[in-house]
Structure 1
Amino acid sequence: MHSPALKATAWMGGTLVSFAAMAIAARELSADLGTFQILAVRSLIGLLLVSAILSRVGWQQLSLQNIKLHLIRNLAHFCGQFGWFYAIAFIPLAAVFAIEFTVPIWTAIFATILLSERITRARVLAILFGIVGVLVILRPGLDVVHPAALAILGGAVAYGLSHTLTKKLSGSDSTLCILFFMMLIQLPLGFVPAAFDWVPLTAAHWPWVVGVGITGLTAHYCMVRALSLADATLVVPMDFLRLPLIALVGYALYDEHLDGFLALGAALILAGNLINLMRERRKVPDHQ
């Protein structure tokens, strides 16, 4: 049987692909729609999809036992999402993802405080390798001096808290329960401010709108499954691999600059994750 760490890695692969696809859809929509409207339609489509699934598998999966924790988690997550979607519209995709990759630092801090998780040397190495890799890609002289850069940095802190609370919730609530409350709570958070500057959706918008809704759901479904299998401080550093992936997407679709520093940074990021995964693998007996 595969180890929980390897299963978590597979689920994080789905997370990476989903987030990359969502970034493309968000970039396309941002030309016409505001950030709050994108978040609102994303939550609406996600809520419809989760509700359809629950109608088939059973609504008994929902529980109000941890509703306060769901509220806190989704307030944090909404702030993280706002920073992410806002930045997507204004700065290069790779820059957004690179700044976002301070998330493992905040997640490790929050997980230590709230979940009493141990930060092992392997996990510290994974985080350090990842951060150094991000710095190599960004390097001194970066010209991302834009409010969007501050927005995504603040969003990274919020995401760190959200990831940690997701791990806490995954111990008692099902994945569908977490996703349902995520969409339900965040729908009014996006819709109310968006209503003041709502742009009518056209036929050209709908494929991207549906794409944002579906990939937002699959990204978080995969993330929740990964977090249910392994510690947050193991799972979240794997997310570093989104950076080289989105840099390639930005280069291919939007002619965003790609250079040799990306390869070096990506190699450091991959090395850190491999060290972490190999150490976790050694903890699991071969017969499991």
Structure 2
Amino acid sequence: MQVLWMVLAAFFFATMGVSIKFAAEYFNTAEIIFYRGLISMALLWALASRQGVSLRTAYPGMHAWRSLVGVTSMAAWFYAIAHLPLATAMTLNYMSSLWIAVFMVAGALMAWRPSPATPRPALHMPVIITLLVGFAGVVLMMRPSIGAEQGLAGIVGLMSGMISAMAYMQVVALSRLGEPEQRVVFYFSLGSALAGGVAMLFIGISDFPGWPALWLIPIGIFAAGGQLCMTRAYANATTRRATLVVANLQYSGIAFGGAYSVLVFGDVIPPMGWIGMALIVGSGIAATVLRARN
């Protein structure tokens, strides 16, 4: 069942991306984050009340950290979605598996203290090759797919994937502690609303555009649905193999994003761009498999 939950989460997130691209024509990133959090928070409060799930938590610090890294990643991703083809922004955000592998390699090297008794940690060549292939895919995807004026958005999108790796690890940790998905997603939505509201004080508020403001509603709905499905998928994946399958199925979001990008927005992505996406997906799956074996 966790397979269905993750595929559904990927579909919801891709559909949310469509709404963000339309809303970004009228609202800044801070406003989108604020309304996304506010709408999702209201939905989660109603759902938790209906199901009798308490929102009181024994792990406020962990929820705060999850909200901090999650909102930072989300802000970078929303900015990338607004300025890049949807398929490109989705792919950059789904590089979390590669970044987790980078963190593991870097952490092992940083913890090493040279001495005769502690040789340098072994750098497994399959992992190194996987990382090189993945980042080569980034180069192939970004060079033909985006213009020079979109370079900043590409870098920001790359950062969103890096930070989302930390957010995913925190979601897994909270699930292992027995936190229900309604509570996890509620506090993330609360953090989003607070962060967006504070940012609006400095960035400002856009003029009310009329009916296009309705695009903010599906952003909150699909965001809440995606977060709930993703959290439930990881919570139900109680074995290493199941977790591996769930982690890899997140890449179905790139397929959904690619379909939306071409069919809804008419984006023209050159063959080299699609090859780059395929390399990123393949290396991300390989990184997840290699990480599970170690």
Structure 1 length as normaliser, TM-score? 0.78
3-state SS of paired residue (2:250):
helix
Q: Which has the larger radius of gyration?
A: 2
The Cα of 1:233 is off from its aligned counterpart by 5.2
- Decide which of 50, 58, 79 is 1:56's aligned counterpart: 50
Contact 2:85 2:267 in 1 (8 A): yes
Q: Is 1:148 the equivalent of 2:141?
A: no
What residue number does 1:4 align with?
none
CA distance, structure 2, for counterparts of residue 203 and residue 191 of structure 1: 21
What residue number does 2:190 align with?
184
* Aligned residue runs from structure 1 range 167-206, under 5 A: 167-171=172-176, 172-196=178-202, 197-206=204-213
What is the aligned-residue RMSD (CA, Å)?
Answer: 3.5
Q: Structure 2: which amino acid aligns with 1:39?
A: I
Aligned CA distance change for structure 1 residues 122 and 208 (closer, same or farther; 3 Å): farther
* Aligned residue runs from structure 1 range 30-179, under 5 A: 30-60=24-54, 62-108=55-101, 137-138=141-142, 143=147, 146-171=151-176, 172-179=178-185
The Cα of 1:42 is off from its aligned counterpart by 0.5
What residue number does 2:18 align with?
24
Aligned CA distance change for structure 1 residues 14 and 128 (closer, same or farther; 3 Å): farther
Aligned CA distance change for structure 1 residues 83 and 128 (closer, same or farther; 3 Å): same
CA distance, structure 2, for counterparts of residue 12 and residue 124 of structure 1: 28
CA distance, structure 2, for counterparts of residue 65 and residue 99 of structure 1: 34
Aligned CA distance change for structure 1 residues 94 and 151 (closer, same or farther; 3 Å): same
Identity of aligned residues (%): 22
Aligned CA distance change for structure 1 residues 147 and 177 (closer, same or farther; 3 Å): same
Which stretches in structure 2 are left out of the alignment for 5+ residues?
Answer: 108-124
Q: Structure 2: which amino acid aligns with 1:16?
A: A
> What is the total number of aligned residue pairs between the two structures?
267
The Cα of 1:87 is off from its aligned counterpart by 1.2
What residue number does 1:117 align with?
none
Structure 2 length as normaliser, TM-score? 0.76
What residue number does 1:118 align with?
none
Contact 1:123 1:234 in 2 (8 A): no
3-state SS of paired residue (2:56):
coil
Aligned CA distance change for structure 1 residues 214 and 110 (closer, same or farther; 3 Å): farther
CA distance, structure 1, for counterparts of residue 226 and residue 289 of structure 2: 25
Aligned CA distance change for structure 1 residues 23 and 41 (closer, same or farther; 3 Å): same
Which 10-residue stretch deviates more, 103-112 or 30-39? Answer: 103-112
Contact 2:98 2:287 in 1 (8 A): no
Aligned CA distance change for structure 1 residues 199 and 191 (closer, same or farther; 3 Å): same
CA distance, structure 2, for counterparts of residue 225 and residue 85 of structure 1: 23
What residue number does 1:9 align with?
3
Contact 1:244 1:262 in 2 (8 A): no
Which stretches in structure 1 are left out of the alignment for 5+ residues?
Answer: 1-6, 115-120, 280-288
CA distance, structure 2, for counterparts of residue 205 and residue 141 of structure 1: 28
CA distance, structure 2, for counterparts of residue 155 and residue 168 of structure 1: 20
String of CA shifts for 1:84-134, please: whole Å, max 9, x gaps. 1111111221221222232112235668999xxxxxx99999988877766
CA distance, structure 1, for counterparts of residue 145 and residue 223 of structure 2: 33
Contact 2:5 2:229 in 1 (8 A): yes
CA distance, structure 2, for counterparts of residue 131 and residue 233 of structure 1: 21
What residue number does 2:112 align with?
none
What residue number does 2:215 align with?
208
Aligned CA distance change for structure 1 residues 134 and 150 (closer, same or farther; 3 Å): closer
Aligned CA distance change for structure 1 residues 278 and 165 (closer, same or farther; 3 Å): closer
Which 10-residue stretch deviates more, 265-274 or 138-147? Answer: 265-274
